[in-house]
Structure 1
Amino acid sequence: MPSTPRAPAEGGTRPTLAVVAQRAGTSVPTVSKALRGGTDVAPATRERILRVAAELGYEQPVAGGLQGHDEQSAGLVDFVLASVEGSWANSALGGVEAAASAADLDVVITLAREGTDWVDRVLRRASCGAVLAVIAPTPEQWRRLAEAGRPVVLLDPMASPPRGVASVGAMNWQGGRSAAEHLIELGHRRIAVIDVSDSYEYSRARLDGFRSVLSAAGLDVAEADRAHAGWKRVAAREAALRMLARPDRPTAVFACTEPLALGVYEAAAELGLSIPADLSVVGFDDLPEAGWASPPMTTVQQPVAEMGAAALRMLLRIGERPAADGHAPREELATRLIVRGSTGPAPA
C-alpha cells in the first residue's frame, strides 16, 4: 500500500496541494477552492481539508509568490488553439471557461501560430493541463508534452489521437449522414460537396457519412462536383462558381463548414441562382452566422460549447486519475440537423 504523506520535518520540503488532496481524499481543485474560501465546497469536505492542511503544516502561498508546480497548477488551465477568430473559437472558449470556472480555475489562451513554439509557452507555466483545439501537434511536440507530464485533451481532433491521449469531438459521420438523407428526401440527385481537406479526420468523417447515404441510394459525388477549400470562404466561392456555371450543375451543395457554405451563397448570388429555388445548401456547425444568412441556413449542429466544457472536465478527470492501461477516454457528442430556409425540393 502507498505510504501516507506526513508533514515535513523542520527545514524539509513544504507540503503541496496534491499532498493535501491525497490525504483528504479529494481533488486538487477542490482543495484549492476550500483554502481560498470558495462557497461551493460541502462543509464537511471543507472542514476535512482545513484539518489536513493544518496537520501537514500547509501554508497558502501569497499572490505573486507561487513557486511550486502544484500551487500554480491548481489555479490555471491552458487552452491552445490556432486562432481566436470566428464564432467556433468563441463558442469553444465559452464552454472551456464555463467548466473551468465551475472548478475554480482560470483559463490561459495560447495561440498555436505556425512557426511558433507554442509548446514552450505552455510548459513555461505550470497548470492543470491543456485542451488543444483543432490543432495537430507534431511527434516532437507530443514527446515534449509527455516528458513534462502535462495532461492533454484534444478538442475536435484533426487526426487520430496518439495512444494515451484523450479527446472530445462530435459525431461527424452521423452528421454527414443526416445532411445527405435530408437532401435525398427533397429529391436531389446531383449533389456537390465542398470540404476542408482529406487530411483532417473530422472532414473525412463528414464526407464518409454523407457518401454512405448516397451510395445506398445508388448515387455518388461526381469528381467535378467535389472540392477542397481549407477553411477559406473565398476558395469555396471560387469552387462553387466553377460547379454552378456548368449546364449540368448540381442542384444542392453540402459544405462541411459554415464559412464554406457562405462562400457557396456568394457564388449563387453572382450567378443569379436563388436559394433554395435553384440551389439547396447545407452547412455544418450551426454557428450564429448560419442563422444570420439570407435565407437562414440549414445546417448540421455540433454542440461546440458543450464540447469545450466536456474537454475541460475530461482534462481534470485524467489529471486526477490517469488511465493505468494507457487507453485514454474518447467522447463524441451528438449532432443534429437543423432545417431552415436554404433547402427545398430539387428543381424540376
Structure 2
Amino acid sequence: MGDPHARVTLEDVALAAGVSKATASKVLNKRPNVDPRTRQKVEETISALGYVPSTGPREPHADVAVDVVFDSMVSMYSLQVLNGILTASRELGVEVVVDVLDREGGAETPLSDAWLTRTAARRRLGVLVVSLALTARQVRTVEELGLSLVSVDLTGPMGAGLASVASTNFAGGTQATEHLVALGHRRIGFAGLPAQIAASRERLHGYRNALELAGIDADPALVVHGGFTAEAGCRMARELLARPDPPTAIFAACDGAAFGVFEAARQLGRRVPEDLSIVGFDDVEPAKLSSPPLTTVHQPIADMGRVALRTLHTLAHGGTPDSPHIQLATHLVVRDSTAPPPPRR
C-alpha cells in the first residue's frame, strides 16, 4: 500500500475521477469548457481526497489576462503584431502581459515548466506565442495545466491541438517572383530567413513555384538563408551578387533583409532598380520610406495579432474557432524598387 500521509497530486485526482489530467486542471482553474457533470465529479473528488494545489494561492481576478511571448521585440514585425494584440485586448477587456525569450536575467525562462506553472497559478486565459518553435513537451504541459495556446507564425512543427495564425506565405512568395518574371528577370535570387522557419520555407516554395510555372530552371546557387535583419540581408546580397552570373533581382523573405539588400547594392555600386530589382515581404511602414520605396508583399501583420488573441479568447471560454489554423491573405504592393533587368552585356 502507498503511504497514507503522501501528498495527493493532481494525477491522483484525475485517476480517481476517471478523467484526464488536463480536464482535472481545467476544473481546478475554473475553465468554462468542461461538461457540468464532469466538473461536479472532479470537484467532489478534489474535496474527498483533500487535494491542495502546489502552485500556491490563486489570484481570483487574474483570469482576464493573457501572457504573450515573443522571440524578441527589436523588429517592426513584432511591434505590429503587438499592436494588433493590444487592439483586440481593448475590444475584449483582456489585459496583456508581454515577455520575450531573449531577455536577460529573471528567475524563470518564458515557456519553461516553472514559468508555465506560475502562469496557470495566476489563472491566465492562456498563452500566445509569436514566431517561436514549441516543443511537444511545452504543448503537452500547457494542455495539462488547462491553459489555451495560440501561435502566430509558428516556426516549428505544427503539433496536434495547437491553434495558429499566419499569412498565405506560399501565395506571397509566388506573387513576388511572378512580378519579377513578368518584368523580364530570369536570374532571381532568394534571400531567405533561417531555413528551419516555416514561413521562410513556404515563401521559398512560392518562389520556386513561380519559376517553374514560367519555365525557368531554379538555380540552387541563387538561394541563400540568413536572418531577419538588414545586416543579414546585406551579407546574403553580397554573396549572391558575387556569383559568376549574378542575379538581376533579389526577393528577400522579409523587409528587414530587403533593406540590407539596398545597402549591399549601394556598397557594390549597383543602382536600384536600374541594375538590381528588390522585392521584400511584410510591408512594414519603413518600406514606403526607403529610397526608392520598396516593392513588397503585404501581409496583415496587425490583423494576425488581433485574430490570434480573439482565437485564444474563444478557446479559453469553451468556444470553437472557425478554423484551428488560420491564414490571412497577402497581396503584392508594387513601388519603385523593381524594373525590367538591364540589357545583358
Q: TM-score range by the shorter chain?
A: 0.7 to 0.9
Superposed CA deviations along residues 221-259 of structure 1, whole A, max 9, x for unmatched, are: 322211111224323212211322345211000000111
Separation in structure 1 between the aligned mates of residue 75 and residue 233 of structure 2, nearest angstrom:
17
SS of 1:118's equivalent in the other structure is: coil
**Do the aligned partners of 1:17 and 1:71 also contact (CA within 8 Å) in 2?**
no
State the 1:197 CA deviation.
2.4
Matched ranges for 1:40-119 at <5 A: 68=58, 71-73=61-63, 75-113=64-102, 117-119=109-111
**Where does residue 333 of structure 1 map in the other structure?**
328
Separation in structure 2 between the aligned mates of residue 283 and residue 336 of structure 1, nearest angstrom:
12
Superposed CA deviations along residues 256-309 of structure 1, whole A, max 9, x for unmatched, are: 011111111111001111000000000000011211211110000100000000
Q: What runs of 5+ residues in structure 2 fail to find an aligned partner?
A: 1-28, 37-55
Superposed CA deviations along residues 141-196 of structure 1, whole A, max 9, x for unmatched, are: 22221211110001111123210111100000000010011001100011000101
Does residue 294 of structure 1 match 2:288? no
State the 1:94 CA deviation.
0.6
**Where does residue 121 of structure 1 map in the other structure?**
115
Q: What runs of 5+ residues in structure 1 fail to find an aligned partner?
A: 1-15, 24-65
Does residue 181 of structure 1 match 2:178? yes
SS of 1:160's equivalent in the other structure is: coil
SS of 1:162's equivalent in the other structure is: coil
**Do the aligned partners of 2:252 and 2:280 also contact (CA within 8 Å) in 1?**
yes
Provide TM-score, normalisation by structure 2.
Answer: 0.77
Provide TM-score, normalisation by structure 1.
Answer: 0.77
**Where does residue 239 of structure 1 map in the other structure?**
236
State the 1:210 CA deviation.
1.4
Separation in structure 2 between the aligned mates of residue 160 and residue 338 of structure 1, nearest angstrom:
30
SS of 2:210's equivalent in the other structure is: helix
Separation in structure 2 between the aligned mates of residue 188 and residue 194 of structure 1, nearest angstrom:
16
Change beyond 3 A, Cα 1:87–1:294: same
State the 1:69 CA deviation.
5.3
Superposed CA deviations along residues 315-348 of structure 1, whole A, max 9, x for unmatched, are: 0111122569xx9711100000000110011112
Does residue 251 of structure 1 match 2:248? yes
Separation in structure 1 between the aligned mates of residue 150 and residue 246 of structure 2, nearest angstrom:
43
Separation in structure 2 between the aligned mates of residue 200 and residue 18 of structure 1, nearest angstrom:
33
